[in-house]
Amino acid sequence: MSLPFRRLRMSAAVTVLGAMLLAGCGGGSAEMVSPPAPVPGPSRSADVGQLASVVSRCGETSFEAFVATSININNGSFTAIFGGHSQVVGYMASSDYSDTSERRDVAVPQTDFRAGSLELDHPTHRMGVAVNGPFLVGSLACVKGTARAAEVDGRTEVNWFSDALAQLPVELLPGVPVAGLEFFGNFEPGNPTIHFTLGAGVVSPTTSLNLCRWNGPDGWACVPVNSTFDGSSHTYASPVPGYGVYILTEVPPSGA
């Protein structure tokens, strides 16, 4: 079930929800909607014009680096270097058209960047995006983390960033940023769902979390997310409109 979003603009803490991400208009409520699975055209090919840019953002020099010769669809992860920093990149690539309804997961390791979790060295979990086919010829999608911790003058500092911004304005988020990812590609993903996993010991049953998407000049748009518990970890998941920068945040208790 889709959930209502809140939008935070650069000029104010909270504003009414607009229509960039969600359906609806005026001052009424709206819902986040995921795009339907794409209907392939005659060529059944992804956007070739965007491919070189996506390959570079993923950390490689050619599309062939992502595609296994024995299968049409290949997905996994690898370590790339960006600006002198190593980073794990998750990817999904297709060398041929496949109309499979199977969902593919593009995921990377996830760190809980809240100060208390970094101090306690909580275990690394996973975050990523699950998408439906069809998968088009020459299609490529990647996921990268959007935060990096470093020791500065004896204290731990976290830098939140994206490919477009050296510093994301996380101070405008409604709550404490936990983890984040950037999802991009050269085809329209079918029914994308973003997921984050946190250990049972790092969140309480009363902890509320939001998933927030960066909308450039329009600031952050946020939606509450629920979790499922498998006995050892909580998975927070939400359908999303498509590619973008997403951050999971811990919402402060009411009145805090």
Q: Write out pLDDT tens, residues 84-140.
A: 999 999 999 998 888 867 789 999 999 888 876 776 666 678 999 999 988 899 999
pLDDT of res. 138: 93
**Which stretch of 59-63, 98-102, 130-134, 226-230 has the lowest confidence by average pLDDT?**
98-102
Residue 115 belongs to domain spanning: 6-251
63 pLDDT more than 70: yes
**Strand pairing class (220-225; 6-8):** antiparallel
Q: Is residue 214 part of a domain?
A: yes
- In this prediction, residue 121 carries a pLDDT of 62
* pLDDT score of 256 more than 90: no
Residue 205: pLDDT band (50, 70, 90) is: low
Least confident of 31-45, 88-102, 115-129, 176-190: 31-45
Closest CA to 141 of 179, 108, 99, 176: 108
How many folded domains does the chain comprise?
Answer: 1
Two tokens, residue 215: 């909308």
Is the residue at 1 inside a domain? no
Which residues sit opposite 161 in a β-bridge?
none
Residue 88 neighbours by CB under 8 Å, 6+ apart = 77, 78, 79, 80, 108, 109, 144, 145
Percent of the chain with pLDDT over 90: 54
The larger pLDDT score, comparing residue 115 to residue 170, is at 170
Report residue 42's pLDDT band, with 50, 70 and 90 as the boundaries. Answer: very low
Rounded to whole angstroms, how far apart are CA atoms 138 and 54?
11
Q: Which residue has the tokens 């999904």?
A: 92
* Residue 31 confidence (pLDDT): 47
Phi-psi region of 192 (alpha: psi -120 to 50; beta: other; left: phi over 0): beta
Of 38-42, 137-141, 222-226, the one with minimum mean pLDDT is 38-42
Per residue in 200-209, is it b (16+ CB within 10 Å) or e — as a string? eebbeeeeeb
Q: What distance in Å separates the CA atoms of residue 236 and residue 224, rounded to the nearest whole number? A: 10
CB-based contact 179:112 (threshold 8 Å): yes
256 within some domain: no
Q: Are strands 227-229 and 233-239 parallel, antiparallel or unpaired?
A: antiparallel
d(CA 14, CA 24): 18
In a domain, 195, yes or no: yes
Domain annotation covers residue 240: yes
Residue 23 vs residue 230, higher pLDDT: 230
At residue 52, φ and ψ (nearest 5 deg) are -60, -40
- Select from 54, 58, 91, 87 the least CA-distant residue to 74: 91
Which residues have a Cβ under 8 Å from the Cβ of 185 and sit 6 or more positions away?
54, 92, 139, 140, 141, 142, 243
Whether residue 247 lies inside any domain: the answer is yes
**Percent of the residues in the chain that have a pLDDT greater than 70, as a whole number:** 77
User: Cα(24)–Cα(232) distance, rounded to whole angstroms?
Assistant: 39
Segment among 58-62, 68-72, 134-138 with least mean pLDDT: 68-72
Q: Band the pLDDT of 71: cuts 50, 70, 90.
A: low
How far, in whole angstroms, is CA 4 from its chain's centroid? 18
The predicted model gives 235-253 an average pLDDT of: 93
Lowest mean pLDDT of 24-38, 126-140, 190-204, name the range. Answer: 24-38
Using the predicted structure, report yes or no on whether residue 21 has a pLDDT greater than 50: no
Q: Is residue 28 part of a domain?
A: yes
